[in-house]
């Protein structure tokens, strides 16, 4: 799964990399947690790429209320085309979540050890995601998203058995294009993960508290004995 990540690269730099317009303003966040409004890249109504602020935790458009039961932070790639909450967004509301890396926790002899998983070259990751718009009540409209996960590569499975789907540059146009509805073509992008380009670094349990949001969340620590 993916339940916490970091985004310290600036919105203008993310927009430059993606060739997107930037509707969003966002200060660096070292400990992004669900329910936060964060930048995602999607295709705008005008047809170009845009960065907009959406809330992490997808609420389907058909939900009767904004309820915790519907706030899904992840969607499994294996069932993304069939589950009711994800079918429609998978067809035409796909997006990318920029991140400098994400956190996972590995069970240890005394406590769970957090790791920061990131590219070795420091380049941002662009995670496959789905978004939806809910507008059925006075609390709307609400635009929200969830991150797509898949089985971890052998390299990363030593930390956790799931990982977010990373969309590479060559596949971004296909993933974002609302005209592409071929499920097999889209699913193929979710099943060829190159976890070997990622590395994991043990970090302090300081990151465990989502209220802690500063560079200390990313500071490496020594690998605990027996982890």
74 in a structural domain: yes
Q: Which of 58-62, 174-178, 203-207, 217-221 has the lowest mean pLDDT?
A: 58-62
Is 203 a domain residue? Answer: yes
How many domains does the chain contain in total? 1
Note if 50 is an active site residue.
no
User: Of 50, 95, 104, 143, which is the active-site residue?
Assistant: 104
Considering the domain boundaries, does residue 129 fall inside one?
A: yes
Backbone angle region of 76, left / alpha / beta, with phi > 0 → left and psi within -120 to 50 → alpha: beta
d(CA 8, CA 98): 10
Look over the chain and give the mean of its residue pLDDT values, rounded to a whole number. 92
Residue 225 lies in a domain: no
Residue of 2, 29, 95, 146 marked catalytic: 2
User: In this structure, is residue 227 part of a structural domain?
Assistant: no
Does a structural domain hold residue 76? Answer: yes
CATH of the domain at 24: 3.90.1680.10
Within-domain flag for 168: yes
> pLDDT by residue (tens digit) across 24-33?
789 999 999 9
Q: How does DSSP assign the chain, residue by residue?
A: ----EEE-S-HHHHHHHHT-EE------EEEE-TT-EEEEEEE-TTSSEEEEEEEESB--TT-SS--GGG-B-EEEGGGTTTSHHHHHHHHH-EEEEEESEEEEEE--SSSPEEEEEEETT-PPEEEEEEEEEE-SSTT--EEEEEEEEEEPPTTGGGT-SEEEPBPPGGGHHHHH-TT---HHHHHHHHS---GGGEEEEEB-GGGGSTT--SGGGG-B-PPPTT-
Out of 93-107, 109-123, 190-204, pick the least confident.
190-204
Our answer to whether residue 41 is catalytic in this structure is: no
What pLDDT is recorded for position 137?
73
CB-count exposure of residue 121 (10 Å: 0-12, 13-18, 19+): exposed
Average pLDDT over residues 164-186: 95
Note the pLDDT tens digit of each residue in 181-224: 999 999 999 986 666 789 999 999 999 999 999 999 999 999 87
Which range marks the domain in which residue 44 is found? 5-218
- Range in 2-11, 13-22, 34-43, 66-75 with the lowest mean pLDDT: 66-75
pTM of the model: 0.95
């Amino acid at each position: 799964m993916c339940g916490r990540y970091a985004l310290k690269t600036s919105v203008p730099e993310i927009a430059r990399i993606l060739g997107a317009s930037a509707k969003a303003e966002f200060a660096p966040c070292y400990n992004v947690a669900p329910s936060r409004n964060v930048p995602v890249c999607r295709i705008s109504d005008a047809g170009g790429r845009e960065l907009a602020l959406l809330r992490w935790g997808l609420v389907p458009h058909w939900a009767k209320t904004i309820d915790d039961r519907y706030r899904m932070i992840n969607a499994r790639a294996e069932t993304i085309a069939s589950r009711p909450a994800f079918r429609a967004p998978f067809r035409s509301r796909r997006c990318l979540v920029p991140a400098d890396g994400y956190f996972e926790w590995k069970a240890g002899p005394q406590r769970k050890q957090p790791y920061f998983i990131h590219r070795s070259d420091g380049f941002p990751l662009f995670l496959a995601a789905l978004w939806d718009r809910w507008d059925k009540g006075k609390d709307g409209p609400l635009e929200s998203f969830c991150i797509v996960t898949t089985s971890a590569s052998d390299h990363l499975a030593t930390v956790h058995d799931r990982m977010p789907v990373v969309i590479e540059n060559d596949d971004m146009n296909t993933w974002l294009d609302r005209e592409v509805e071929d499920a097999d073509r889209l699913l193929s992008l979710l099943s060829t993960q190159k976890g070997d380009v990622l590395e994991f670094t043990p970090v302090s349990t300081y990151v465990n508290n989502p209220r802690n949001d500063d560079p200390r969340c990313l500071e490496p620590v020594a690998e605990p004995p027996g982890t």
